[in-house]
Structure 1
Amino acid sequence: MSSHADRLAALREQLKADRLDGFVVPLTDEHMSEYVGSYAQRLQWLTGFQGSAGSAAVLPQDAAIFTDGRYTIQVRQQVSEKEWSYQSVPETSIAKWLREKAPDGAKIGYDPWLHTPDWVKSATKALAEKGADLVAVGQNPIDKIWSDQPQPSPARLEAHSQNLAGKSSADKRQDIADWLGTVHGDAVVIAALDSIAWALNIRGKDVTHTPVALAFLIVNKDATADLYVDPRKIDDDLRNVLGADVRVHDRTAFEGDLRASFNGKSVAVDPERSVAAIFQALEEGGARILRLRDPAVLAKAIKNEAEIAGQKAAQARDGAAVSRFLKWVADEAPAGELDEIVAADRLEAFRKEHGDLRDLSFDTISAYGPNGALPHYKGTEATNHKFAPGTLYLVDSGGQYEDGTTDITRTVPIGTPTAEMIDRFTRVLQGHIAIATAVFPKGVRGSQLDAFARRPLWEAGCDYAHGTGHGVGSFLAVHEGPQRISPPGSSQSGGDEPLQAGMILSNEPGYYKSGEYGIRIENLVLVVEHPVEGGDKDTLGFETLTFVPIDKSLIDASMLSDGERRWLNDYHAQVVEKIAPQLQGDDLAWLKDACAPL
């Protein structure tokens, strides 16, 4: 099937054969992952949408794709309006749409390995109001018609050094066992891939840009564990590293063991990070389910000394690579031959030269002019722009290194920027500085800080449709929970998690003018203790981890306060201190000039 219209038609025919009146297509896998292996890219295969978050619903006469504000423009470029209507989340939802559109008495299919139990509950309730039913399918109908669907990755698992992890797997499993004792649980099912990688100190290559392996994990109250994974992915050396207390089973045995092993026992399962099929299997096997957050989530988010040291080392190398790249762009762009794809490839090459780059941490957002207005733009040959004077270039990128995960965005002018570009960039910088310098009592949530970053833009009648910050893993997921800096009630969950020392977040306010340009300034920051003399509260603040010049030609210095100017000059002095020893010649001269005091 060459066209997406053909694929939609084929799905509708398959639904008829399966006696279904509709089907729901999320962008996730059996682990509720944000980034998924190629075999699980069902939404992209069906619709053409290349974003990293979205879902779709198909009925006999109607079809809709659901995305949030980050993809408002992108979804319209990639998905045909002839076949699909565009729905904005959180203003609407699949459940609401189905309640309005589904025929009375309809049977709407869903894959229980791709949805949370809470989603199933809410969708079931919404459909019941129309006399319709939500029906679990035994085999995903898209898999039946996707003739060249890739197979899951066969890549081997690797051990992650305890020197970098900062804590042994045995100690982590003991902490989980101790937690089970406090909740009176016999075992916990862990389905999130980064939690499994963290708990066992292993890494994999099953998901592009995220070093995880397709597996499920059960940790028992005696601190032993059962790992369900394709046995071909583990060799004898890794079995020895895991030890006798980690039993390895074929991944295909997981569902059956859930039904057979926990009759009358209490099993903790995370309803946000585990699919409905897991809950169903445990319930059918007579288990008592404890709906609790995965105990690895918070522990993983609070980095220990070894992880923090590794992150700082990775950031220093990464900063040198990105600095060299920005100098290269400044040299090459005026010739008019540079384009988005060439630039992204060159940036990756610089990263490879400066460290043991294992992978990118996500697809580089190399966005010139109007493409920069798409916060999660992914360049293709069809959309690739050559650079020409008169607008901005936004590059959001990151690397996966064995000692850390990086994520940085810089925006630079190609030619002479307009007064409006300078005004908006300066306001974004002011918001960035407001987060970087924030001091707040312990217990404060990211949602309470988010407005700090937006105020300068709000004062100009502007805003941006994404969160201000996300958590970042340690040689793991570039988007990691549970912490975020995002507006209250945002569809991007995590903004209500209290911030704690040791958490790493991004600081990335932005501004996007549709059809013209985008601006974003992103550094990673570490939550640290920040005592205030004379205060009566224990307070926290942020330590910036990312060190790359911020383009001064886009800054209206007259708009900056004395404190903002001082922050920028101090920041640039630190960039020189940390990055200059890695550079030489013209690269070094460029860095010193780019970091000269404002």
Structure 2
Amino acid sequence: MSPHQPAPSPTDRLADLRAELARLNLTGFVVPRADQHQGEYVPPSAQRLGWLTGFTGSAGSAVVLRDKAAIFVDGRYTLQVLAEVNTQLFTPLHLVEQPPHRWAGEVLSKGDRLGFDPWLHTHDQVQSLTAACERAGATLVPCPDNPVDAVWAGRPPAPATPISAHPERFAGRSAAAKRGDIAAELARERLDAAVLSAPESLAWLLNIRADDVAYTPLPLGFAVIYADASVDLFVQPDRIDDTVTAPWGDAVRVAEPAAFEATLRLLGRGGKRVRLDSSSAPFQVWETLRAAGARVEPGSDPCALPRACKNAVEMAGTRAAHLRDGAAMVRFLAWLDRTTRSGTVSEMEAADALEGFRRTGEHFRGLSFPTISGAGANGAIVHYHSTAKTNRPLAAGELYLVDSGAQYLDGTTDITRTILVGDAPPDEARRRFTLVLKGHIALARAVFPMGTTGSQLDILARRPLWSAGLDYDHGTGHGVGSFLSVHEGPQRISKVGNSVALKPGMILSNEPGYYKTGAYGIRIENLVMVEPRPAPAGAERDLLEFETLTLVPIDRALVAEDLLDRDERDWLNAYHARVRDAIVPQLTEAAERDWLEQATATL
């Protein structure tokens, strides 16, 4: 597209796609948010859903038919989708309550042909779409060439940033040791190989990092690890220099991405038993292996669980990262208090200031996600992103929600604080803030037996809100990587069922919230790490608990003390004393130390 030619409107883009579908004899096409790796952040070249619809959220999908189209988002984006997408073109629907396959099954007719890109959907997703089409008498059609790409003029090139080594002093273990562990697991299960499609697994297994996507230091690519501990890595070889590959020797072979499917076919010809994560690997990988004769063994990514259970070096690293991050947050909050009392500051100015405080920290490598900086009603949009159009000042008497995090070489952070601007909190907001706080404290104080899943703990955070007839439409906790993805499984705390038991070394968020549309949003988020708890006399099971990693005050001005019981008040006072003791030595300015002393005063 010429730089002087105006970009096509959403109406034109939709019309162009429908014309391409007609040329391909397709009734419709599924456009997911995902790329080949099903990651939260996708490179500009893979942002097909955003290009077509204008939606910028991190999860969603669209289905385009000849005479209708729908966009599907979860509860985090119900307000955002209305602000970003032309609802005359795309009908907004709930991703969980009415997912794409269910809607497609209801609107398709006998003989219709629904297209999909087999690299952008998992085997499980394709199974659901296939069943829906069969019920309607329609056919699901794989498209080797994505029709969105055919009409996307000026589509950015795929990323190819340099791949660097992640030093063992941060990773804690060598790539050779990790490869040996995974190979031993494959051998125990009598598997010949496993296909790795998650970039987090490539990065963790080989101790490498890159900048192929925003906010997460990932190298996009695929790999196959074999039972002899060797690995075939599929990325452009010119992205890796000798300083990275030399320690690998002949154990890790680097090949062009185009060679990936040929390697899959070789596995098939040998009749190899191959582990594949059917919930995250591309359907095309599954089909290539199956068609070639491989014995595909569905199962979890073998790197996922050991990646989630941080080693001793990673645990120490995340504590150090949170100490620096806590100091940056305290400096920001002290600055924010002074600025809003003497003048005005906007959402975007506040977000920029916070990033500036973080940038001075050792090992800082960037933000871990776009800062959510929402004042007043904007705070009620769960994944709000302030723009020049929506940017507003932090007004006295309103709540300000800031959800932010950073990537450090030794750890990844994520914290949300809800702040009262001024001195007169609305009574309703104050009491609901305290209900959220009670849930946060209940989860932070949880003691649970080995084998417990996050889904079993979720009710602890929701119970105070439920008792008042309130709730929030997002998970309570997500897993967090070590200088990897800020949202990373397999562990989570959520209403949604999860069979992964919590284990020592796992890092999760603790983030209950409440959101009143058009008024305010509340969220209190700390990161926590699972650790063993000494068992009392007579205990019959090993116990676990959470270590709170985040070290930042919770706004005492929003706490309705009459709603807290003695144990909750004691927890908050102890937490604030710990924050004060840890952060005061990190501050150089007397004004910041004085602010922290006041912010952590005993209730």
- 1:111-150 correspondence to structure 2 within 5 Å: 111-150=117-156
The runs of at least 4 aligned residues of structure 1 exceeding 6 Å deviation read none
1:571 to 571, 575, 595: 575
Aligned partners of 1:31, 1:553: CA distance in 2, in Å? 44
Partner-residue secondary structure (3-state), 1:207: coil
Q: Report the CA distance between 1:390 and its aligned residue.
A: 2.2
Partner-residue secondary structure (3-state), 1:371: helix
Aligned partners of 1:5, 1:478: CA distance in 2, in Å? 35
2:294 to 287, 290, 299: 287
1:276-327 Cα offsets, whole Å, 9 max, x none, are 0001111222111111111000010001100000000000000000111111
Match of 1:328 in 2: 335
Q: Which amino acid aligns with 2:401?
A: L
Q: Report the CA distance between 1:389 and its aligned residue.
A: 1.4
Structure 1 residue 207 and structure 2 residue 207: aligned? no
Q: Report the CA distance between 1:513 and its aligned residue.
A: 0.2
Structure 1 residue 524 and structure 2 residue 527: aligned? yes
Structure 1 residue 596 and structure 2 residue 601: aligned? yes
1:558 to 542, 551, 562: 562
Q: Report the CA distance between 1:253 and its aligned residue.
A: 1.1
Structure 1 residue 22 and structure 2 residue 28: aligned? yes
Match of 2:3 in 1: none
- 1:303-318 correspondence to structure 2 within 5 Å: 303-318=310-325
Q: Report the CA distance between 1:377 and its aligned residue.
A: 0.9
Structure 1 residue 198 and structure 2 residue 204: aligned? yes
**Does 567-576 or 351-360 show the bigger shift?**
351-360
Q: Report the CA distance between 1:573 and its aligned residue.
A: 0.8
Q: Report the CA distance between 1:336 and its aligned residue.
A: 4.6
Match of 2:439 in 1: 431
Match of 2:19 in 1: 13
Match of 1:537 in 2: 541
Partner-residue secondary structure (3-state), 2:337: helix
Partner-residue secondary structure (3-state), 1:450: helix
1:407-438 Cα offsets, whole Å, 9 max, x none, are 00001011221001110111111000000000
Q: Report the CA distance between 1:382 and its aligned residue.
A: 1.2
Contact 2:332-2:353 at 8 Å conserved across structures: yes
2:98 to 92, 100, 107: 92
Match of 2:514 in 1: 511
How many residue pairs get aligned? The number is 593
Q: Report the CA distance between 1:387 and its aligned residue.
A: 1.6
Structure 1 residue 547 and structure 2 residue 551: aligned? yes
- 1:461-540 correspondence to structure 2 within 5 Å: 461-489=469-497, 495-534=498-537, 535-540=539-544
CA spacing shift, 1:224–1:591, aligned 2, 3 Å: same
1:58-80 Cα offsets, whole Å, 9 max, x none, are 00011001111111111111111
Q: Which amino acid aligns with 2:392?
A: H
Aligned partners of 2:546, 2:394: CA distance in 1, in Å? 35
1:408 to 408, 415, 421: 415
Q: Report the CA distance between 1:20 and its aligned residue.
A: 0.9
Partner-residue secondary structure (3-state), 1:569: helix
Aligned partners of 1:149, 1:517: CA distance in 2, in Å? 38
1:172 to 178, 181, 197: 178
Q: Report the CA distance between 1:480 and its aligned residue.
A: 0.8
**Does 2-11 or 135-144 show the bigger shift?**
2-11
Match of 1:222 in 2: 228
Q: Which amino acid aligns with 2:188?
A: T
Partner-residue secondary structure (3-state), 1:578: helix
Q: Which amino acid aligns with 1:467?
A: G
**Does 227-236 or 428-437 show the bigger shift?**
227-236
Structure 1 residue 366 and structure 2 residue 373: aligned? yes
Q: Which amino acid aligns with 1:471?
A: G
Match of 2:268 in 1: 262
- 1:151-166 correspondence to structure 2 within 5 Å: 151-166=157-172
Partner-residue secondary structure (3-state), 2:20: helix
Aligned partners of 2:19, 2:386: CA distance in 1, in Å? 33
Q: Report the CA distance between 1:152 and its aligned residue.
A: 1.6
Aligned partners of 1:232, 1:60: CA distance in 2, in Å? 43
Q: Report the CA distance between 1:356 and its aligned residue.
A: 2.6
Aligned partners of 2:153, 2:597: CA distance in 1, in Å? 55
Contact 2:532-2:545 at 8 Å conserved across structures: yes
Match of 1:492 in 2: none
Aligned partners of 1:273, 1:503: CA distance in 2, in Å? 21
Structure 1 residue 354 and structure 2 residue 361: aligned? yes
Match of 1:244 in 2: 250
Q: Which amino acid aligns with 1:563?
A: D
Structure 1 residue 42 and structure 2 residue 85: aligned? no
Partner-residue secondary structure (3-state), 2:157: coil
Partner-residue secondary structure (3-state), 1:278: helix
Q: Which amino acid aligns with 2:463?
A: R
Aligned partners of 1:578, 1:334: CA distance in 2, in Å? 27
Aligned partners of 1:265, 1:460: CA distance in 2, in Å? 56
Partner-residue secondary structure (3-state), 2:336: helix
1:449 to 444, 451, 457: 457
Contact 1:410-1:550 at 8 Å conserved across structures: yes
**Does 459-468 or 384-393 show the bigger shift?**
384-393
Aligned partners of 1:162, 1:138: CA distance in 2, in Å? 40
1:76 to 63, 82, 87: 82
Aligned partners of 2:419, 2:471: CA distance in 1, in Å? 20
Q: Report the CA distance between 1:230 and its aligned residue.
A: 1.3
Q: Report the CA distance between 1:543 and its aligned residue.
A: 0.6
1:374-404 Cα offsets, whole Å, 9 max, x none, are 1111111111111211211000000000000
Q: Report the CA distance between 1:335 and its aligned residue.
A: 4.4
Aligned partners of 2:421, 2:598: CA distance in 1, in Å? 18
Contact 1:334-1:388 at 8 Å conserved across structures: no
Q: With structure 1 as the length reference, what TM-score do the two structures score?
A: 0.98
Identity of aligned residues (%): 51
Aligned partners of 1:241, 1:112: CA distance in 2, in Å? 36
Q: Which amino acid aligns with 1:459?
A: S
2:591 to 583, 586, 595: 586
Contact 1:336-1:386 at 8 Å conserved across structures: no
Aligned partners of 1:22, 1:77: CA distance in 2, in Å? 25
Partner-residue secondary structure (3-state), 1:354: coil
Q: Report the CA distance between 1:260 and its aligned residue.
A: 2.9
Aligned partners of 2:128, 2:95: CA distance in 1, in Å? 16
Contact 1:32-1:273 at 8 Å conserved across structures: yes
Q: Which amino acid aligns with 1:102?
A: L
Contact 1:580-1:591 at 8 Å conserved across structures: yes
Partner-residue secondary structure (3-state), 2:373: strand
Match of 2:398 in 1: 391
Contact 1:159-1:241 at 8 Å conserved across structures: no
1:531-580 Cα offsets, whole Å, 9 max, x none, are 23132221111010000011100001111111111101110111111111
Contact 1:50-1:378 at 8 Å conserved across structures: no
Aligned partners of 2:21, 2:392: CA distance in 1, in Å? 40
Contact 2:359-2:366 at 8 Å conserved across structures: no
1:278 to 275, 285, 310: 285
Aligned partners of 1:312, 1:496: CA distance in 2, in Å? 28
Partner-residue secondary structure (3-state), 1:316: helix
Q: Report the CA distance between 1:149 and its aligned residue.
A: 1.2
Q: With structure 2 as the length reference, what TM-score do the two structures score?
A: 0.97
Q: In structure 1, list runs of 5 or more residues that go unmatched.
A: 490-494
